Structures are given as C-alpha cells and as structure tokens.
Amino acid sequence: MYFLKNSYYTAAIHLSCISAMKKFLGKSIFKATGWTYNVDPAILENKQVIIGFEHTSNLDTILSLALFEILELKIHTLIKKELFKGPLKPILEKLGGIPVDRKASKDIVTQMVELFNQNDRFNLVIAPEATRAKDGEERKPIRTGFWHIAKAANVPIILMYANAKTRQGGILGKIYPTNLQQDLEKIKTLYAEYGIDVKIR
C-alpha cells in the first residue's frame, strides 16, 4: 500500500512539474516575441469550439499553441487523413490531430458531434480564415464550418485574437450559436473592438 501511495504521489509531482514547464515555456514565447496576452479563464468551458483571428503570419499559430499550454488546454484540430502515415502519424496524434475523411459517409459535422458527445472535455480548434491573401488579392469571407459544428454539438464558440499591430492576443469572449448570420455579425463586431477586421459574407 505504501508503495502504491508513493508511486501515486511521485507521478502527481512529475505531472505537476511537466505542467509547470509547459506554462513557463508558453510564457517565455510571449516574452521573447514581445507579445502580451489577456485571458479570463472563467470564459472557458469543458467543451468548446475555438476560433481565432487574424491570420497574418505563422507566428499566430506559435502564439496560439503557447497560450493553450499556459491555459493547460488539450486541443484537437482537423487534419486530412492522408497525412496520418508513417512517422508523422504519432506526431499528429500527440498534437491532437483528428484525421478527417472528406469522402466518408458521415459528414465532418456529424463526426465532430460524436467526439464531443464521447468526451467529458473536448476543445476543437478551427481556423475559419482561409490562407492569407497575397498582396493585391481580395480576402475571402471566413468559412462557417466552425459555427455548424458548435451549433450541432450545442457548445459555445470561444473567440481568440492576435493583433500584430499592438502585439496583443488572448481570448476576447464567447458566443452560443443561435442564428448563423446574426452570430457572424456579432463576431465581426466583437473583433472590430480589438482592431481586427473579420470578413463575412
């Protein structure tokens, strides 16, 4: 019994140290890049779809991952199943990648709803903005798959932001999906308050 208790406490301490190191690394990334973050942890729930704007560089992804480590959020994201091969497969799985078969009989929304229902905690991260438009090209409206997943799974949409001009990022709020067009307008308005333009249809 003593051995079991000792092993339990040792494992707990080990996990605590790993968590502390990940938080430290996340904060160090923000400090090294000169960015600051603003988050109210009370906004987060056990299950949610997380989106973020704006997409200006690959640094956005790095800062988002750093913030997830600081918040101790285990995230998942959609990746086409063709990439889950060879040595890349365990890496993508470790990073929370979910293989998606666009040709499967079940649509992606149904697949994600099932995952939300099967887990007590589930954070799905989706980038609604298409790849950055090149100079001179018109930006395309955001894709709305995130809204349909959140609506069908009955979970909130968490709004992350990264403003390259002010070097500030974090979570600015959340909405519960009700009406697509009205919610898109609300999202656009909320991001505009942080100096970020979200292009919608």
Q: Which residues sit opposite 37 in a β-bridge?
A: 169
| 200 found inside a domain | no
The parent domain of residue 169 ranges over: 27-192
Residue 180 inside a domain? The answer is yes
Q: Using the structure block, give the residue that is written with the tokens 């990022």.
A: 169
Q: Which amino acid is at 8?
A: Y
Smallest CA-to-CA distance from 157 within 200, 128, 117, 114 is with 128
- What tokens does 86 get? 């060879």
Whether residue 7 is contained in a domain is answered as no
Is residue 173 within a helix (H) or strand (E), and if so which, with residue range?
strand 168-175
Phi and psi based region of residue 140 (left: phi greater than 0; alpha: psi -120 to 50; beta: remaining): beta
**What local confidence, expressed as pLDDT, does residue 93 receive?**
85
How do 36-38 and 168-175 pair as beta strands? parallel
**Count of domains observed in the chain:** 1
The answer to whether position 74 is within a domain reads: yes
Look up residue 157 and give its two tokens. 């949409």
Q: In what order do the strands lie in the sheet with 97-100?
A: 36-38, 168-175, 157-163, 47-53, 122-126, 75-80, 97-100
Note whether residue 197 is domain-resident. no
Nearest-angstrom CA–CA distance, 178 and 175: 9
How many other CB atoms are found less than 10 A from the CB of residue 194? 19
Q: Is residue 99 included in any domain, yes or no?
A: yes
Q: For residue 169, is it within any domain?
A: yes
Give the tens place of pLDDT for each residue, 16-61: 556 677 788 888 999 899 999 988 889 999 999 999 998 777 888 8
d(CA 98, CA 78): 5
pLDDT band at 135 (very low <50, low <70, confident <90, very high): low
Question: What confidence category does residue 86 fall into, taking pLDDT thresholds of 50, 70 and 90?
Answer: confident
Which burial class, exposed, middle or buried, applies to 72 when counting CB atoms under 10 A from its CB (0-12, 13-18, 19+)?
A: exposed
Cα 80 to chain centroid, rounded: 17
Do the beta carbons of residue 35 and residue 166 sit within 8 Å?
no
Closest listed residue to residue 157, CA positions, set 184, 130, 181, 197: 184
pTM of the model: 0.85
Residue 76 lies in a domain: yes
Share of the chain above pLDDT 90, in %: 50
Min mean pLDDT across 12-26, 84-98, 114-128 is at: 12-26
The pLDDT of residue 7: 46
Instruction: Tell me the mean pLDDT in the region 165-190.
Output: 96
pLDDT at 176: 98
